[in-house]
Structure 1
Amino acid sequence: MPSGFFALLDDISALVKVSAASLDDVPTQIAKTTGKVSGIVIDDTAVTPKYVVGLDPARELSIIYQIAKRSLINKLLILSPAALLLGYFAPWAITPILMLGGAYLCFEGYEKVHSMLSPHHAVDPESEAVQSITPEELEKERVTSAVRTDIILSAEIMAIAYSQVAGQPIVNQIIVMLAVAVFITVAVYGFVGLLVKADDIGMHLAGNEYGPTTQKIGRGIVKFMPRFLNALGYVGTAAMLWVGAEIIAHGIPFTAHLLHELEQNLANVPAIAWLAKVLACAIFGLAIGFIIEKIVGVVRKVFFNKNEAHTV
C-alpha cells in the first residue's frame, strides 16, 4: 500500500514537471505568435485613428477606450474560444477561414489603393441629401464602424495565433491565445491613444511656460504628426495587402512553394529576401483585390437590377 502511494506521488511529480517544462515555453510562444501577426497589428494601428477625425478632441480617448474594450471582449469571449473549438472539432477549417480573411484584407487594400490613385470628384451639395446627425450619434456610428472593422482584423489575429500553437497542449494554447489577445489590444490601442493626443502634447510643450528647446520640440511634434499619420495610412494599406496575400499564398501549395523558393534564393541577404517577399505579396494582393472587386461589382449589379425589376 505505501509503495503504491509513493508510486502515485512519483507519477504526480512527473506530471507536474512535464507541465512546468511545457509552460516554460509559453513566453517564447507568445513572442513568436505576436511576431507572426505584426502585419495585421500595423494595419489595425494605422486604420483606427481615422475614426476620431472631426470629433470633439475631449472625447478622443473615450472613443478609443470604447473601441479597445469591445475589441478585447470580442477577442477573449468570442474569437479565442471559436478558434480553439474549430481547432479541436474542425481543424481543416482554420486554413480556409484564414484565406477568406486574407481575401478580405486584399480587397480592402485594393480599394484603398484605388481610391488613392483615382481622381477625387467634388460632391455637389444639391445632389446629395444632407443628413442631420448629433455629435453623440456620430460618435456611436464611428465606434460601431471601428468595431466592425476591428473584428475582421482581430479574427485574423486570433486565427493566426491559434495556427502557431495548434500542436501544443491545451493549457498552452489557452494561455498563449489569451495573452496575445490582451497584449495586442493594449499595445495597439495604447499606441493609437498616444497618436491621437500627440498634437495636444505638442501644443502643450510649445507653451510659454517651457524653455525655447522644449517649445521647439512641441512645435516639431505638431508639424510632424499630420505627415506621420498620413504615412501610417500608406503603411497600413501596404501591410493589409502583404499580410492578406501571404495568408492566401501559404494556403495554396503552388504559391507557398514559390514564396519559399524566393526566400531560399535570397537567404544570403535577409533584408533583401524580406523586401522581395513583401513586394511579391503586395503585388499578388493587389491582383487578388482587383479580381474580388470585379466579382463584387458584378454581384452588386445583378442584385441591383433584380431589386429594380421588383420595384417596377
Structure 2
Amino acid sequence: MASGLLALLDDVAALVKVSAASLDDVPAQVAKTTGKVSGIVIDDTAVTPKYVVGLDPSRELSIIFQIAKKSLFNKIIFLSPAALLLGFFAPWAITPILMLGGAYLCFEGYEKVHSMFSQHHGDGTAENVEQMKVITPEELEKERIDGAVRTDLILSSEIVAITYSTVADTPLANQIIVMLAVAVFITVAVYGFVGLIVKADDMGVHMAKDKFHPAVQKFGRGLVKRMPAFLKILAYVGTAAMLWVGAEIVIHGIPFLHHALENLILSLPEVPILQWLVKVLVSALAGIVLGFIIEKIVKVVRKLFKSKKTEAV
C-alpha cells in the first residue's frame, strides 16, 4: 500500500515537472508566434484607422475600444476554442476555412482598389440611389465598427490558426496559455498603436501650443500637417496588405501554388528584403486577380437573386 502511494506521488511529481518545463517555454512560443504573424499584424494595424477617419474626433478612441473589445472577445471566446476543437476533431477543416477567409480579404481588397481607380457617375439607377441614401452619424459609426470587426475576424482567425500550429504538439494547458497570451498581446499592441495613430493630430495640436519649447511647437505643427497624408498612405498600405495576406493564405492552401511561389523565391538572389518584396508583390497581384474573379461571381449571383425576386413579385 505504502509503496503504491509512493509510486503515485512520484508520478504526480514527474507530471508537475513536465508541466512546469513546458510552461517555461510559453514566452519563447509567444515570441515565435508573434514573429510568424507579423504580416497579418501589419495588415490589421494599417487597415483599422480607415474605419475611424471622417467620424467625430471625440468618438475615435471609443470606436477603437469597441473594435478592440470585440476583436479580443472573438479571439478568446470563439476562435481559440474553435481552433482547439478543430485541431482535435477535424484538423483537415482548418485550411479550407482559412482559405475562404483569405478569399474574402482579396474580394474586399479588390473592391477598394477598383473604387480608387474607377470614376463613379450617377446613372439614375436604383442601385446608385441606394448608395447615395443619407444615414445618421450613429448608423455610420455602427457600419464602420461592423466592417472593421468583420475584417478583423478574418485576420484574427489566421493569427489564431498560426498560433495553434505553433503549439499543436505541446500539452493542452500550454496551448491554451500561449493562445490566450498571443490574443491579448496582439490585440493590445495593434489597437494601442491604432489609437496613437488616429489621435496623433490631436497630440500635435497640443504640442504646438505656446507653452512648449519652439522645437516642440514646430514638431507638433509638422505632425498636424503631415497626418492627413500619412493616413492616406496607410489606407493604401492597408489595402495592399489585405490583398497580400489574403492571397498568401489561399496560396498556402493549394500545394502546387505554394511550391511555385517558394521556388520563385528560392530562384532569387539570397537577399532577404528582395525575396520578401517579390513574395509580397506576387501575392498582392494574385490577390487582385482572385478578387476580380470573386467580384464577377458575386455580381452574377446578385443578378440571379434579383431576377428571381422580380419573377416572384
- Per the normalisation by structure 1, the TM-score is 0.91
Distance 1:108 1:16, change over 3 A: same
AA aligned to 1:223 is: K
AA aligned to 2:72 is: L
Are positions 1:86 and 2:92 aligned together? Answer: no
Tell me how far 1:202 sits from its aligned partner.
0.2
Provide, for residues 51-103 of structure 1, a one-character-per-residue CA deviation record: whole Å limited to 9, x for no partner.
22332222211121112112111111111111111111111100111111111
> Would you say the 8 A contact 1:39–1:240 is kept in 2?
no
Are positions 1:240 and 2:236 aligned together? Answer: no
1:273 corresponds in structure 2 to 275
AA aligned to 2:108 is: E
Are positions 1:118 and 2:129 aligned together? Answer: no
AA aligned to 1:252 is: I
Judge which range, 216-225 or 144-153, deviates more. Answer: 144-153
One of 147, 150, 163 as aligned partner of 2:149: 147
Are positions 1:60 and 2:56 aligned together? Answer: no
AA aligned to 1:235 is: V
Other structure's SS at 2:170 match: coil
Distance 2:284 2:68 in 1: 28
AA aligned to 1:103 is: A
> Would you say the 8 A contact 2:43–2:242 is kept in 1?
yes
Tell me how far 1:216 sits from its aligned partner.
0.4
Distance 1:7 1:191, change over 3 A: same
One of 268, 287, 291 as aligned partner of 1:285: 287
> Would you say the 8 A contact 2:64–2:195 is kept in 1?
yes
Provide, for residues 176-217 of structure 1, a one-character-per-residue CA deviation record: whole Å limited to 9, x for no partner.
111111111111111111111100000011111112111100
Alpha-carbon RMSD: 2.2
AA aligned to 2:54 is: G
Provide, for residues 222-269 of structure 1, a one-character-per-residue CA deviation record: whole Å limited to 9, x for no partner.
112111111111111121111111111111111111122223223622
Tell me how far 1:111 sits from its aligned partner.
1.4
Judge which range, 259-268 or 60-69, deviates more. Answer: 259-268
Other structure's SS at 1:233 match: helix
1:213 corresponds in structure 2 to 215
Alignment of 1:1-312 (within 5 A): 1-121=1-121, 131=133, 133-266=135-268, 268-311=270-313
> Would you say the 8 A contact 2:209–2:217 is kept in 1?
yes
Judge which range, 55-64 or 179-188, deviates more. Answer: 55-64
Tell me how far 1:34 sits from its aligned partner.
1.8
Provide, for residues 23-45 of structure 1, a one-character-per-residue CA deviation record: whole Å limited to 9, x for no partner.
22222221222222222222222
Distance 1:53 1:209, change over 3 A: same
Distance 2:131 2:267 in 1: 57
Distance 1:141 1:244, change over 3 A: closer
User: Identity rate of aligned residues, in percent?
Assistant: 72
Distance 1:122 1:129, change over 3 A: closer
Distance 1:229 1:132, change over 3 A: closer
Q: Tell me, which stretches of 5 or more residues in structure 1 are unaligned?
A: none
Tell me how far 1:2 sits from its aligned partner.
4.0
Provide, for residues 99-152 of structure 1, a one-character-per-residue CA deviation record: whole Å limited to 9, x for no partner.
11111111111111111221244798x956875544444433433333233223
Distance 1:54 1:244, change over 3 A: closer
> Would you say the 8 A contact 2:67–2:145 is kept in 1?
yes
AA aligned to 2:265 is: E
Distance 1:288 1:139, change over 3 A: closer
Distance 1:19 1:103, change over 3 A: same
Give runs of ≥4 in structure 1 deviating > 6 Å: none
Other structure's SS at 2:199 match: helix
> Would you say the 8 A contact 2:50–2:235 is kept in 1?
no
> Would you say the 8 A contact 1:98–1:160 is kept in 2?
no
Distance 1:130 1:241, change over 3 A: closer
AA aligned to 1:83 is: A
Judge which range, 277-286 or 192-201, deviates more. Answer: 277-286
- Per the normalisation by structure 2, the TM-score is 0.91
Judge which range, 263-272 or 289-298, deviates more. Answer: 263-272
Distance 1:307 1:25 in 2: 58
